[in-house]
Amino acid sequence: MQRRKFILNAAGSFASAEPQMPPLDYGLSFLSGVAAWNRVRFWVESRTRIFDARSGRHEDYLQCASCKSEDTFAAANLFLADNYDFLPIFGPEFGLIFRRKASATPGYREVRASNKMWDGQTLRLAPARRPRLLDSAAAIRKATHDGLPLVAQTAFTNGATGYHAIVEYPVKTMNIHDEKDQYQVDTGPVAFPDLSRRWDRLADSISLAFVAFNAPSFADFIRETETATSGSTRVEHYSDRVTVSGTNRLFAIRR
């Protein structure tokens, strides 16, 4: 198992001018294709916003729920025989499609123009109406026990490349230890950007990952990458561990 550590901010904090992003309500956020042959609707599962200090612009990437390969609108045998997991990510100009088969294949990750993905998209993103920042472990534990939807944001930067990212996601799994006043987020997949180099297309920086954190100042990601098994087979598996220093925020959402 590989492990890489990126020290992106030695102080573990950002200036007061750090970009902000109001959270979404992920229970109500969707994306739809506009193609007449399939006005498919995807549930949005995470959002990654990448800021470029050099251009002063940012791009949003919306990672949607996974499904299985299918023969859409067929009369019978709806799932393809050589089946694979299918997961799309949509960006403003380019998006990605991940096709994960039983073993690693050359077509696993594809970047394509967003207007070629179901002829473009209609976004139906619902801003969280009353997000409340949870500023302590006690507040996080209480919101968890109260059954409130939780949304997390992990922000990190690379001063050398001029990129700053906010990865936002609903918390699907939360671990709580009341006696020790501890919590730990474990969720995914999310769209994880590599900020260590400059990219001609920001879509090329993105891979799938799961994220865990139990403190405000760092997060661990485990990226999906081609991985050798005990035999000669290679698979796409979450095996590349990356630690980022930055800022984690947790919000409770009321509807």
105-146: per-residue pLDDT in tens? 888 999 999 999 999 999 999 999 899 999 999 999 999 999
Contact call for residues 138 and 177 (beta carbons, < 8 A):
no
Q: Are 66 and 87 in contact (CB under 8 A)?
A: yes
pLDDT-above-90 percentage for the chain: 80
Place of tokens 């947790």: 250
- Tally the C-alpha atoms within 13 A of residue 117's C-alpha that lie toward its C-beta: 23
Q: Cα–Cα distance between 34 and 21 in angstroms, integer?
A: 27
Peptide bond into 19 cis (omega under 30): no
Is 154:219 a contact under the CB 8 Å cutoff?
yes
Predicted confidence (pLDDT) per residue in 135-186, tens digit: 999 999 999 999 999 999 999 999 999 999 999 999 999 999 999 999 999 9
Domain ranges of the chain: 3-252
Are residues 62 and 90 in contact, defined by beta-carbon separation less than 8 angstroms?
yes
Q: How far apart are CA 209 and CA 188, in angstroms?
A: 7
- Banded model confidence at residue 101, pLDDT cuts 50, 70, 90: confident
Calculate the alpha carbon distances from 189 to 46, 120, 210, 251 in Å.
Answer: 8, 23, 5, 19
- Tokens encoding 175: 């671990």
Indicate the SS3 state at residue 126: coil
pLDDT band at residue 17 using 50, 70 and 90 as cut-offs = low
